[in-house]
Structure 1
Amino acid sequence: MIMERKQRYSIIVDAEIGEGTIVYDQVNLYKCKIGKNCKIDAFVYIEEGVEIGDECKIRPFVFIPTGVKIGNRVFIGPGVIFTNDKYPQAKGEWELEKTIVEDDASIGAGAVILPGVRIGKGAIIGAGAVVTKDVPPNAIVVGNPARVARYKRRKA
């Protein structure tokens, strides 16, 4: 369903929102695509061209700019910030760098995801981590810059 409406203090313009998805008030969604059965909490800003898969949970105060693609069953904790330009400036040229978050990843509260990285399937980003490079599948990364602390154990 493509939505263009203003909720109480929210702006939703040409957003494609899947069936069963809940979008709370005070959210800005611009020309993005959100899958089925997601939960988008208050104070989330999602820009044009962003794609979010099915069954994702995006907690409050998250910023997702153009160039980000998020897979299925991804958790994004409160206050997570994605970026899309390595050398931002107020005026002049800028270069969009795409970021991919693969299925089943989890990103802890307050993490910062720099542009041009891939977060692998099932990876966990620790709270407050600053992700500056690709994260392997099933890796648990922490710190600034984020480093692999260990890998998730396989379930028997």
Structure 2
Amino acid sequence: MSVHGDVAPGAFVHESAWIDAGARVGTGSRIWHFVHILPGTVIGENCILGQNVMAGPEVTIGDGCKIQNNVALYRGVTLEDHVFCGPSCVFTNVLTPRAHVERKEEFALTLVRKGATIGANATIVCGNTLGAYCMVAAGAVVTKDVPDFALMAGIPARRIGWVSHAGERLGDDLTCPRTGARYRLDGETLIPEENAA
């Protein structure tokens, strides 16, 4: 284990992990085998970073995020609270990369809003925002902004439905089958109804 960054009391760091100087890990977070946290990266409280995760430099990960094995979060990526990143999902940070040309000034920002889920092996092309509580299917390729609560699938990803806060696919009645919470459409925007069950 090589810990040079700031690890809060109550966090767990596996002996094979590396936390660089200038990185911060919040209380209750668990950093597992072969994770590398680069300088300037901030990890919130109660996060789980699975085996072989790389984050940084200067990545922000909110509270309660779960990042499964083999995920790389590059500069320009921000995860809000309670984001789920499935195994081997991919984030990019430049649209026209070349091995022989440095293009750091062209890094595009990617924002993943609160409660979003990204499925295994999905690819998130940089410069896009994934809306709150959206769900990106396994293997999908996101090439544009994703609305809140949208269910996205395919290559390129397109909206094939809506999901609830609980992550359940909504039927025509826009009622969550797990919780009974109700939603309504305002044009192409899904809105939770107040005082829903």
Query: By the TM > 0.5 criterion, same fold?
Result: yes
The separation in 2 between residues aligned to 1:110 and 1:18, in whole angstroms, is 27
The separation in 1 between residues aligned to 2:101 and 2:52, in whole angstroms, is 29
Equivalence for 2:109:
98
Give the counterpart of 1:28 among 25, 36, 50.
36
The separation in 2 between residues aligned to 1:25 and 1:79, in whole angstroms, is 15
Equivalence for 1:39:
48
The separation in 2 between residues aligned to 1:27 and 1:37, in whole angstroms, is 16
Secondary structure of the residue that 1:148 maps to in structure 2?
strand
* Equivalences, count: 154
Q: What do the CA deviations read for 1:37-78 (whole angstroms, capped 9, x no partner)?
A: 001111101111100000010000101100000000111100
Structure 1 unaligned spans of 5+ = none
Equivalence for 1:109:
120
Answer yes or no: is 1:127 the counterpart of 2:135. Answer: no
Equivalence for 1:59:
68
The ranges of structure 1 where at least 4 consecutive aligned residues each deviate by more than 4 angstroms after the TM superposition are none
Equivalence for 1:138:
149
Highest CA radius of gyration, 1 or 2?
2
* Larger RCO (CA within 8 A; separation ≥ 6): 1
Matched to 1:127, the amino acid is A
Matched to 2:73, the amino acid is I
Answer yes or no: is 1:81 the counterpart of 2:85. Answer: no
The separation in 1 between residues aligned to 2:79 and 2:148, in whole angstroms, is 14
Equivalence for 1:2:
6
Structure 2 unaligned spans of 5+ = 8-12, 164-169, 176-180, 182-195
The separation in 2 between residues aligned to 1:61 and 1:42, in whole angstroms, is 6
Secondary structure of the residue that 1:103 maps to in structure 2?
coil
Secondary structure of the residue that 1:89 maps to in structure 2?
coil
Give the counterpart of 1:12 among 16, 19, 24.
19
The separation in 2 between residues aligned to 1:90 and 1:7, in whole angstroms, is 33
Aligned alpha-carbon RMSD (Å): 1.5
* Higher fraction of strand: 1
Matched to 1:26, the amino acid is F
